[in-house]
Amino acid sequence: MCINPFFKTSQLLVFAFNLLISNANAQETACPPNLDFEYGDFTNWQCQRGNVVMGDITSIPNLHPATPGIVHKIIPATDRELDIFGGFPKNCPNGSGYSIKLGNSEVGAQAESLSYTYTIPQSITRFSITYYYAVVLQNPGHLKGEQPRFRARVIDMEANREIDCVSFDFTASSSLPGFKESTHLMDILYKDWTPVTIDLSDYAGKTIKLEFITSDCTRNGHFGYAYVDVNSNCSNSFAAASLCQGDDFLTLTSPYGYASYEWYSNYDYSHPIADTQTFYIDPAPPVSTTYSVIVTPYPGYGCVDTLYAPMVRAPKPGALAGSDREVWCNETIQLGEPHIDNYAYLWTPADNLTNPNTANPFLKNYIYTPKRFTLNVTDNETGCVSTDSVLITPINCFLFVPKGFTPNGDGLNDVLRPYMGGIQGFRRFSVFNRYGNLVFSTSTEGVGWDGTYKGIKSDTGVYVWMLEFISKDNKPTIERGTVVLIR
């Protein structure tokens, strides 16, 4: 009988998966539509679900067509959550707009699959698949044919066989190589994003099926699920060798996650010129230069492959932080611009923003002094970077410190902090007990007192606060008042 999934004897294998399709000679129209989920849905994908039963050697899923639902879930790039067991991002860190989750952490001998069938154009002379993976498989220690399981398969439909090096079958086991122990729960193993690459140049004109299958244990008590992110890239290069507009140096970027990289120029493989995922050449070489990189995966996780990157001139991505503006101190505002797929965003400073890694974050805290926010935008395909900034100036502001607060952990009035605006600078906010002893002090704007002193809850009673700041007319100012702590 299966035990509770969170008992100590359980183990989890964490697995995430990203598939990158690259085509060195195809036109953009050769890319299978929505292979990368960039429609934001499952168009052209076949979703199936059902149950799983015990087999002689491995478990056997019984699947039937299904409408996308809780076991086929689209995850937008704006979702920055980490997997609870592995601590890796649910969205593959490749800059794509969408990832998907296949399966879930519910039990019940469930199974689900996702597949995409397409024909590689006959005109293709160079076609390669690189995928990144990671899964969550609970390991209760059943017989192998009963265990949770994950499969990633690339199938030659004409020959009706799986293609070696790119197809994997993981059945929950403590002996699987390359997994680490989770720090979230005991006896949980995980494997972070890992790439596998395969050359499909010989399959031009043939029909290929990509299929992903997850299944629980057959005894109804343990689960398995995975993440899948497919990034379709049918440009004329496998890796980026971009001379960015306005720059006199070259940025070379290969897919991340391999054990080693060896870069060469103009097909001269006698002397490698670099051994990192990304490197820079200053000054830039002639535009006619072609670079190649030999990528070697970690042992047991795919095949060695060579990726090609002809040097090209590339425009810098647009960076639009927004127009400088004045806002009310308590106004909720949004910065930036709409998200663009394959762009990576970074805002600084990040403390006041809901998500510094999205294109258009909101201010999550009121600001009381003028603050400039800087946006860096990186094109993940070319490596080109642009920067912009916006100055937000609060107006029509006020000074307010609550008369009382209730730090009881209910999320309402748990922290005492001053609310102010229209000032030139924040100096310090301090709180004293009735004996004049300092119990709290901060020089960081927006930080407040949680009603404790050296980790011990302070008693109910009256406390004195003191606020030091630079006024709107640029004068050092001190305000004082009292507050009641209520428990």
Cα 167 to its chain centre, rounded Å, is: 24
Q: What domain range includes position 423? A: 399-485
Q: Is residue 117 part of a domain?
A: yes
Q: Does the pLDDT value for residue 208 go beyond 50?
A: yes
Task: Report which of residues 126 and 377 the model is more confident about.
Answer: 377
What is the reported pLDDT for 287? 79
Above 70 in pLDDT, residue 401?
Answer: yes
Same domain? 133 vs 168: yes
pLDDT in tens, 301-325: 777 888 887 777 889 999 999 999 8
Tokens of 487: 């428990």
Distance of CA 11 to the CA centre of its chain: 24
What pLDDT sits at residue 25? 39
Residue 348's pLDDT is 92
CA atoms within 13 A on the CB side of 464: 10
pTM, two decimals, is: 0.63
Q: Which of 283, 314, 345 is the last residue of a domain?
A: 314
At 29 the pLDDT is: 34
* Whether residues 210 and 307 fall in one domain: no
Of the three residues 335, 364, 395, the one that is the final residue of a domain is 395
**How do strand 224-233 and strand 12-23 relate by DSSP bridges?**
parallel
Where residue 452 sits, what CATH number does that domain have?
A: 2.60.40
DSSP state of 82: B
- Per-residue model confidence as pLDDT tens digits over 13-28: 444 444 444 443 333 3
Instruction: Name the pLDDT band for 406 (thresholds 50, 70, 90).
Output: very high
For residues 359 and 93, give the distance between their C-alpha atoms in angstroms, rounded to a whole number. 15
The highest-confidence range among 118-132, 222-236, 395-409, by mean pLDDT, is 395-409
Res 1 pLDDT > 80: no
Number of structural domains in the chain? 4
pLDDT of residue 5: 33
Q: Are residues 183 and 288 in the same domain?
A: no
Q: What is the mean pLDDT of residues 468-487?
A: 88
Same domain, 391 and 403: no
Residue 39 has pLDDT above 70, yes or no: yes
Look at residue 273 and tell me if it is in a domain: yes
Q: Which amino acid, one-letter code, is at 286?
A: P
Q: Is residue 200 pLDDT above 60, yes or no?
A: yes
Both 106 and 134 in a single domain?
A: yes
What pLDDT shows up at residue 260?
Answer: 92
Domain of residue 116, CATH code = 2.60.120.260
**Least confident interval from 78-82, 91-95, 327-331:** 327-331
Cβ–Cβ < 8 Å for 250, 281: yes
Where residue 381 sits, what CATH number does that domain have?
2.60.40.10
Check whether residue 333 and residue 244 sit in a common domain. no
Please check whether residues 122 and 190 belong to one and the same domain: yes
- pLDDT for the residue numbered 23: 42
Q: Using the CB atoms, write b or e for 198-219: b if 16+ within 10 Å.
A: bebeebbeeebebbbbbbbbbb
The beta-strand segments (E) located in 331-448 are 343-348, 371-379, 385-395, 399-400, 404-405, 419-420, 425-432, 438-442
- Residue 424: per-residue pLDDT: 78
For residue 1, tell me if it sits in a domain.
no
Average pLDDT over residues 333-355: 86
319 in any annotated domain: no
Q: What is the mean pLDDT of residues 193-220?
A: 87
Is position 320 within any domain?
A: no
390 lies in the same domain as 340? yes
- Angstrom CA distances, 83 to 152, 227, 403, stand at 20, 10, 41
Q: Is 28 in a helix, a strand, or coil?
A: helix
Mean pLDDT of 192-211: 82
CB 445 within 8 A of CB 368: yes
The answer to whether residue 346 sits within a structural domain is yes
pLDDT greater than 60 at residue 153: yes
In a domain, 119, yes or no: yes
Indicate the DSSP class of residue 31: S
Average pLDDT along the chain: 83
- Per-residue pLDDT averaged across 44-50, rounded? 97
Regarding predicted confidence, which is higher, 323 or 130? 323
DSSP character for 317?
Answer: P
Co-location of 249 and 229 in the same domain = no
If we measure between CA atoms, which residue out of 410, 408, 319, 394 comes closest to residue 352?
Answer: 394
The predicted structure's pLDDT at residue 252: 81
Residue after which a domain boundary falls, among 314, 349, 368: 314
- Distance from first CA to last CA of the chain, Å, rounded? 47
Q: Which residue has the higher pLDDT, 140 or 416?
A: 416
| Domain match, 154 and 57 both | yes
Characterize the bridge pairing of strands 127-134 and 194-199: antiparallel
What confidence tens digit (pLDDT) does each residue in 214-240 have? 999 999 999 999 999 887 665 445 555
How many other C-beta atoms can be found within 10 angstroms of the C-beta atom of residue 31? Answer: 17
351 three-state secondary structure: coil
Considering the domain architecture, whether residues 146 and 71 belong to the same structural domain is answered as: yes
Residue 422 and residue 345 share a domain: no
What residues does 16 pair with on adjacent strands? 134, 227
The better pLDDT of the pair 198, 162 is held by 162
User: What span, in angstroms and rounded, lies between the C-alpha atoms of 430 and 152?
Assistant: 58
162/208 Cα distance (integer angstroms): 10
Q: Report d(CA 395, CA 447) in Å as an integer.
A: 21
| Cβ contacts of 227 within 8 Å, gap of 6 or more | 15, 16, 17, 75, 83, 90, 91, 92, 99, 100, 101, 102, 134
pLDDT in tens, 164-198: 777 888 888 878 777 777 788 777 778 887 777 77
Ranked by mean pLDDT, the top range of 12-21, 287-296, 377-386, 452-461 is 452-461
pLDDT of residue 396: 59
